[in-house]
Amino acid sequence: MTKADIRIKYRQKRTMLSQQDVAELSRKIFENFSKYFELTEGQNIHCFLTAYSKEEVQTELFIQYFRISNCKIFVPKVVGEKMIAVELLPQTFLLPNKWGIPEPKTNTEIKGVEYDLVIVPLMYADQFGNRVGYGKGFYDHFFADINPQAKKVGVNFFPPDEIIDDVWDEDIPLDYLVTPTAVLSFGTGASKFTK
């Protein structure tokens, strides 16, 4: 399937989920994530904030887990045509952007961070770690600018059933995909952890 067709199909599938479904599936995704990824104090983690209007995976449990683990948390903010990283502190004031996504009020970009993990929003990811986002390219540019050792972790309600036909050379694949039933690794020595 093409990325355009996948966006339509999986947007539709997400709109069919109830708020209760989204909350329950998000909890299962978080449980799989927390079992698979051991955090250590001082790690740098970039995590998206949930766009509720898009029925996205809810990341509040992730954020709480990162705080309890004494990790540094960074979140995305779109400024002009670019996505920057802003540190999320307990006192950070959030406002919805034009897409309804919460973002820090401040534009203070933190550059040169060596990320351990990047938690990535997506519409879909296939069995090779190729992802379909919302079509703006923000994360592809972000991945190209950060340290290549950062583990890119996609989270999705749905398993990787379709193959993405129109993957480009510039597309940067995920290292992991976490679903409600499994954690898939796409790196060398790829493996699958099933709940």
pLDDT in tens, 144-193: 999 999 999 999 999 999 899 998 877 889 999 999 999 999 975 455 55
Burial class from Cβ neighbours inside 10 Å (0-12, 13-18, 19+) for residue 78 reads middle
C-alpha–C-alpha distance, residues 92 and 115, integer Å: 20
C-alpha–C-alpha distance, residues 184 and 123, integer Å: 16
Nearest to 100 by CA among 156, 138, 56, 154: 56
Give residue-wise pLDDT tens across range 22-45.
999 999 999 999 999 999 999 999
pLDDT of residue 187: 73
Residue 9 confidence (pLDDT) above 80: yes
Average pLDDT taken over every residue of the chain: 92
pLDDT of residue 189: 46
Q: Which residue matches tokens 């766009």?
A: 51
pLDDT of residue 85: 96
* Mean pLDDT, rounded, for 74-98: 93
C-alpha–C-alpha distance, residues 119 and 155, integer Å: 7
Cα 138 → chain centroid:
12
- The percentage of the chain sitting over the pLDDT mark of 70, rounded to a whole number, equals 96
C-alpha–C-alpha distance, residues 115 and 44, integer Å: 5
Could you write out the DSSP letters of every residue in 60-94? HHHHHHHHHTT-EEEEEEEETTEEEEEE--TT--E
CB neighbourhood size of 79 (10 A): 12
Residue 106 confidence (pLDDT) above 70: yes
pLDDT of residue 84: 95
Rounded to the nearest 5 degrees, what angle is found at the Cα of 59, between the Cα atoms of 58 and 63? 155
pLDDT of residue 19: 94
pLDDT of residue 194: 54
